Structure 1
Amino acid sequence: MECHPLHLQGTSVSLEPLEQAHIADIRNAAADGELWKLFFTSVPAPEQTQQWLDAALAMQSQQKAIPFVVREKSGGKIVGSTRFCNIDHQHQRLEIGYTWYSQSVQRSAINTECKLLLLTHAFEVLNCIAVEFRTDWFNRRSQAAIERLGAKRDGVLRNHMILPDGRIRDTVVYSILQNEWPGLKKNLQYMQNKY
């Protein structure tokens, strides 16, 4: 499982390798809804976008992540970001995380198609035996979205992280196992066709 930049194409969305050239697009996407104001997300504030982008690219160079921008194909606009992270080459596992979308595309087909692309690549190309999702205890919307995908809740990591503002975060962990993927894939394809 190498951490090389990837380009994944869907019907309505394109997942493209995150690059320094995307900084203005990331700022604009996060500004749609002022997402950085949600204390339980990792969306960069305008003045922190360069630091956020540098950290994502550093994770990639350290073979720890594959970061993407999310481009809506109809208008060509970047509407968010996501990444493969916590990549465990030895145990064939990874996490899909750091995901956020502009407010105007939340609860649309974007998340379903992004997850379908990412999970297909994880299970069918990288041969993962498990894919994990993690979210803040207070991010109920994210938990509901992960559960809609069909992931199962593994548990809560209490006092898991100390955040930049000093808050100690409890992290809710979900996963999808390789043997569950065929059924979940059919469900995601069905959900995608409903939009």
Structure 2
Amino acid sequence: MTGTPIAPVTLTGRLVELAPLSQEHHAGLCEAVRDGELWRLWYASAPKPEDMEREIARRLALQADRSMLPFTVIERPSGRIVGMTTYMHIDVAGPRVEIGSTWYARSVQRTGLNTEAKLLLLARAFDDLGCLAVEFRTHFLNQQSRRAIERLGARLDGVLRNHQRAKDGTIRDTCVYSIIPSEWPAVRSHLTWLLETPR
């Protein structure tokens, strides 16, 4: 492993920059989560604006525990903060990571920004860190998220039934997807093609 997934790093593309999460991003993240009132989505985990400081602190505490590497998602070239994403459930011994706890302002959803962000995170995981697998998880009923994960080229490993409680108290079934190293070259070509294809 040429790097470590718990070391903060900035990943930069043409449409997006993934910068190490900081409390300095608080105001921009509050503005981003208001774009679409994302905290109202019962199946998602975007924080309310008034809870943003606590959410940033939570993610940074997990980073200190070496189980998460959180990023602030910044739109390029405008420099506007538009969301959060992470490497989470980090297994350094594998190494293996999950890409998750992701949310984006509604105005950048269904654009090339998410595609490029995932390309940057996957390239870091496979090319620099030598991961055995990169995992994605989402609510069984979150069809938008499931379609987005499947468009990346990830394969469904299975469904964890009665996996956890959602924020409204309902029981969540969790779909688990992954990409493995033998699939990465084709996935990289596919994501690159998507970014170069006019929408």
TM-score range relative to shorter protein: over 0.9
TM score, norm. by length of structure 1: 0.97
- Contact residue 5 and residue 125 of structure 2 kept, 8 A: no
Match of 2:156 in 1: 153
Paired residue secondary structure (1:133): strand
Tell me, yes or no, if structure 1 residue 105 matches structure 2 residue 108.
yes
Distance 1:165 1:60 in 2: 27
Residues 34-83 of structure 1 show CA distances to partners (whole Å, capped at 9, x for unaligned) of 00000111100112111211111011000001100111112110111100
Question: 1:194 Cα deviation (Å)?
Answer: 1.1
Q: Which runs of 5+ in 1 are unaligned?
A: none
Distance 2:87 2:5 in 1: 11
Residues 134-162 of structure 1 show CA distances to partners (whole Å, capped at 9, x for unaligned) of 00112110000000000001111011112
One-letter amino acid of the structure 2 residue matched with residue 49 of structure 1: M
Residues 82-131 of structure 1 show CA distances to partners (whole Å, capped at 9, x for unaligned) of 00001111121110001111000100000110000000000000100100
- Contact residue 5 and residue 90 of structure 2 kept, 8 A: no
Residues 138-190 of structure 1 show CA distances to partners (whole Å, capped at 9, x for unaligned) of 21100000000000011110111123432221111000001100111011100
Tell me, yes or no, if structure 1 residue 51 matches structure 2 residue 54.
yes
Distance 2:190 2:112 in 1: 13
Paired residue secondary structure (1:59): helix
Structure 1 segment 24-173 matched on structure 2, within 5 A = 24-173=27-176
Residues 4-34 of structure 1 show CA distances to partners (whole Å, capped at 9, x for unaligned) of 2110010111000000111111111000000
Aligned CA-pair RMSD: 1.0
Distance 2:62 2:71 in 1: 12
Change (3 A) 1:101 1:60: same
Distance 1:64 1:130 in 2: 16
Paired residue secondary structure (2:29): helix
Distance 1:68 1:49 in 2: 14
Distance 1:181 1:2 in 2: 18
Divergent runs of 4+, >6 A? none
TM score, norm. by length of structure 2: 0.95
Distance 2:174 2:54 in 1: 23
* Aligned length, in residue pairs: 195
Match of 1:10 in 2: 13
Paired residue secondary structure (2:85): strand
Percentage of identical aligned residues:
48
Distance 1:37 1:151 in 2: 27
Distance 1:89 1:74 in 2: 33
Which residue of the other structure, out of 170, 179, 184, is the alignment partner of 1:181?
184
Distance 2:5 2:97 in 1: 12
